[in-house]
Structure formats: C-alpha cells, structure tokens
Amino acid sequence: MSQPKFELRPYQIDAIQSLRDSLRAGKKRPVLMAATGSGKSVIAGTMVSAAVEKGLRVLFVVDNLELVDQITQTFETYGLKVAIVQGRHERTNYSRQVQVCMAQTLNNRLKNADKYGPDNYPVGLIVIDECHCQYRSHRLLAELYPKTPIIGLSATPFAKNMASLYDDLIVAVPMQTLIDTGYLCPFVVYAANAPDMKGVATKPNGDWTEGGAAERYTKTIHANVVKTWLELGQGRQTIGFGCTVAHARDLSREFQTAGIKSEYISSYNTQQEGGQEDRDRIIREFKAGEITVLFNCAILTKGFDCPNVGCIIDARPTKSLQLHIQKIGRGLRVSDKQPDCIILDHAGNTERNGFPTDELPQELDDGTKKSSEGADRKPADEPLPKACKSCSYVKPVGVHKCPACGFEPEQPSDVEVIDGKLVKIDQGKRRATKEDKQDWYSQLLHVAKSRSYSHGWVAHNYRNRFDVWPKGLERESKEPSTAMLNYLTSQQIAFAKRRKASV
C-alpha cells in the first residue's frame, strides 16, 4: 500500500529533484542546505517514503532527543512505521523499515561491525540531520555502507572538513526568500559593538571556549540585559543564550528578581533536583507560554521548535557562523502572535558574523586553513582534575557532582555588565514616522493622567525615546501597550541605579 503524500512547497519539490539529480550524476553523499523553518523534515520524509515504497530500509540519524520526537511524529503523520534507536528505548524494533537513530547511540553500537554492514543489515538510504555536527557515527556509517546513498541535512553546513565525507552541496532556498514569501518571519536586530576577543582561547572547531568567552566578557558585555529586554523586547516570549551555564543561570535569576517568569536549562539542570524530568517540564511550560524567558548556553541552538518565540537575547560571543545562525533561527518561525522577531545582540555577534540573510558559503569546507584564520588564537589550557570543596576528593576532569560525598557546587558566573545601549541595525532600517511619534505621545499622555504626572514628565520621556521634544502632535490619550509599560519600567530601573550610584 502506498503511503500518504507529504504536502510540498515549490522549493521543496526543487530541492528533492536536485538531490535525485545529484545521486544520478554519481554523487554518493550530497548535503542539502535548507534554512530553519524551510521544512527539512518534510523534504527528508518524502525521500524516506519513496525508499520505503521500494522496499528499502532507511536510517534517519539525529543528535537531539527533541528531534527524535519531532521526526517520529512527522513521519507517522504520513503513515510511516517508525522504530527508534536510542538507549533502551521501548520502541526498539530493528525489523522496521524506518529507524530514527540517535547519533550518540550509534557511536557505540556501530563498533560491533559484525551486526551491521550490507551483508548483515542491509540499508538502502541514510539521512543525517544536523550533519555539520560530524559525529563519529556519521563516518562509521559511511565506512560500513560505502555504496549506500547518504544525504546530509543542515541549515548551516559550514563546519570544517565536511568535504572529506560529503561530495556535493545543494542550496534549497535562501533565508531571505523564505522571509519574503512568508515562510519565515522578518527580524529586527539591536546590537552592541563587537568586543575585542583577541587572544581568547579557542576550541578545536575554531570557536572560543565558553570559559574564555565568559572571562573576556567580564570587560565587554554591553547594556543591562533585563533593562534592554523591558525596553525593546516588548514582553515577548524569549529564548536567551549565555556564555556558560552559570551565566545563563544568573541571567535567569535577574529576570526573576524583576518579576518576570524565567528559567534556565542545561545538560545537567543543576538548579533542579528533578534532572531530565524537570528539564522536560520547563520546556513544556515554556511552549505553553507559562514561562516568558528561557535561558541556556547551548541546549537550544538546534532542534527546538517553538513558533511563539518572538525575541532572542544573545549574550554569548561566537565567531562560528553556524552557531550564530542557529541561535537566531530559534525565533524565525511564523506565528500569529508575533509579526517579527526581535534580536537583542549584547555580544556583538551581528557585527562579527553578519545577518543570517547575508550571502552564505556555497561550497563545503575541504579542511584548507584560510589565511585570515587563526592569527589571534591560542590553544585552550588542558583541563585538570579538581578537588571537591566539601570533602577534598579529587574529581576526574568534567565531573561536576562529587562521586565521594555527592556535593554539587554552584558554579559562579564571572560575567559583569558595563553601561551601554543596543542600537538598531536591521537591514530594513526604518525611521520613526509622525504616526509612530503620535502613537507614543498619546500613550504617554494616558499614563501621565492615570498617575497624576505633569506634562513635563510626558515631554521628557518622549525626548528620551526620539531625541527631540514633542512638536505638532495632538493631545489625545491612548491606552498604553505592553511595550510602552515595559519601556517605562526600564527607565525607572535605570533612574534607580543612577540614583544609587550617586549616593
């Protein structure tokens, strides 16, 4: 029996045809570059469905638990029978034609090569999602199944040396086209100047270490994050990125202190005792709108789909183009609740990496070191074992909770804030119209009347917003918006801090 068909957009049809043309031309491992929200799972699902109709077994490889659920649900919606390869999963069933596999699980299982390979476990198609991550299992699959087509999927296939595994790059559709046609929402960026990161320790992938970025950030973070969000974030549901887990935790606490419902998640979820269960709860509550601002360091950079996100707080410096685009992509899903996405770039990443709609690399990296790279890099210091602060037991590298006494130290955040203000730098820069000014002025009049403030208060707050005094405007009041009230709250916070500093 034939499977129900996936509903395809025109560019998705073209992408599938391009992949088929690539394979017919003799390529074995093409990569499809498709932006966040372009429907990579639908494109992949169409090819998986076609392979299943031919009687072939398909491995679909992901690296994120959230993606396991998303892909499985998408495939089953269209009648595909799916099994899951992930730990001791209850849906393990190697006889199924479609296997959704965790890359990390395959790292270990593929070592037992006598159970796999074309003679022992035939596979007709392999699809690798987020292929730029380049797990060891990706290469093991290529070695075990040298004649099986492998299709890589990624919004950002810019990782080093990808050309050593993949042999073709197909661009599905530019992000700007998706925005222009309404498949993604437009975005507005407010950004700080890029901090000087010269000499900061780097990881093997070329990006700065989290600790190195946090250490440098102590001198360079621009603008108070809470104050900026209150002024510019319009109370929107928000995902925030910190330099480290400790930084993300502290940012979340600052929002909580300001009366804003906020949480943070990490791979350890050290602020909770419920572990993975509590992390799942936090994500569930965020998607339901019960949490307004959700912070993390690296957990939500991919495979997280929440269309109601209308603001991104980026307080994590990076020179990785793919990480930069992945972070912004979390807010570009189309939603009836948000007309666009507001990017609050406190780390200068836009100045450093550009807009996600800029022209992107059109070929896979072959491992050749560019002459402009590496000049300011130094290797990261080798990590050392650390003594437990409670019982002095020396813990192995990377172990947070003491194996001897169970003590789990709370990591301090060294990130401090310097005065500054984010400046709007979106591509379609737009000056305030007279209608914008009248709207703001009318809202200020309403607030002034309800609080018995003078017109002088109105005039000064208007000037703080537009850098000019109100002229030629009608004195008619209007109910204030959430954005207006948040802006006034941010001004009160700034005034209180200035007053405290002067004492």
Tens-digit pLDDT profile for residues 203-235: 766 676 766 666 555 444 557 899 999 999 989
Task: Give the CATH fold of the 10-173 domain.
Answer: Rossmann fold (3.40.50)
Angle at 280 between CA 274 and CA 284, to 5 degrees: 130
Res. 384 pLDDT band, cuts 50 70 90 = very low
d(CA 232, CA 22): 46
Mean pLDDT score, 140-150? 96
The domain segmentation of the chain, as residue ranges, is 10-173, 187-358+414-424, 434-502
Residue 383 per-residue DSSP state:
P
Other CB atoms within 10 A of residue 439 CB:
16
How far CA 186 is from CA of 231, 334, 430, in Å, comes to: 20, 9, 14
Which residues contact residue 342 at a Cβ distance below 8 angstroms, ignoring those fewer than 6 apart?
Answer: 187, 188, 190, 232, 233, 234, 236, 310, 311, 312, 331
CATH superfamily of 187-358+414-424: P-loop containing nucleotide triphosphate hydrolases (3.40.50.300)
Matching CATH topology for 10-173 and 187-358+414-424?
yes
Q: Where is pLDDT greater, at 395 or 489?
A: 489
Q: Where is pLDDT greater, at 252 or 36?
A: 252
Examine the pLDDT at 276 and tell me if it is beyond 80: no
Which residues contact residue 190 at a Cβ distance below 8 angstroms, ignoring those fewer than 6 apart?
Answer: 228, 232, 342, 343, 344, 345, 422, 423, 424, 425
Residue 369 per-residue DSSP state:
P
How many residues can be counted in the chain? 503
Question: What ranges in 39-135 are assigned the alpha helix state H?
Answer: 40-53, 65-77, 103-109
* Tokens matching residue 383: 């990590």
Examine the pLDDT at 183 and tell me if it is beyond 70: yes
Mean of pLDDT over the chain? 82
Q: Are 205 and 320 in contact (CB under 8 A)?
A: yes
User: Is residue 422 helix, strand or coil?
Assistant: coil
Of 481, 451, 69, 408, nearest to 236 (Cα)? Answer: 481
Tens-digit pLDDT profile for residues 311-345: 999 999 888 888 999 999 999 999 888 889 999 99
pLDDT > 70 fraction of the chain, expressed in percent and rounded: 77
Other CB atoms within 10 A of residue 367 CB:
10
Res. 70 pLDDT band, cuts 50 70 90 = confident
Identify the bridge partners of residue 152 per DSSP, sorted by sequence position: 31, 128
Query: What does the CA dihedral 446, 436, 358, 156 come to, rounded to 10 degrees?
Result: 20
User: Is residue 380 helix, strand or coil?
Assistant: coil
Given the structure tokens 């590298």, which residue do they identify?
397
Helix 482-502 vs helix 225-232: crossing angle, to nearest 10: 150
Q: Are 131 and 168 in contact (CB under 8 A)?
A: no
Examine the pLDDT at 135 and tell me if it is beyond 90: yes
Q: What are phi and psi of 118, to 5 degrees?
A: -60, -25
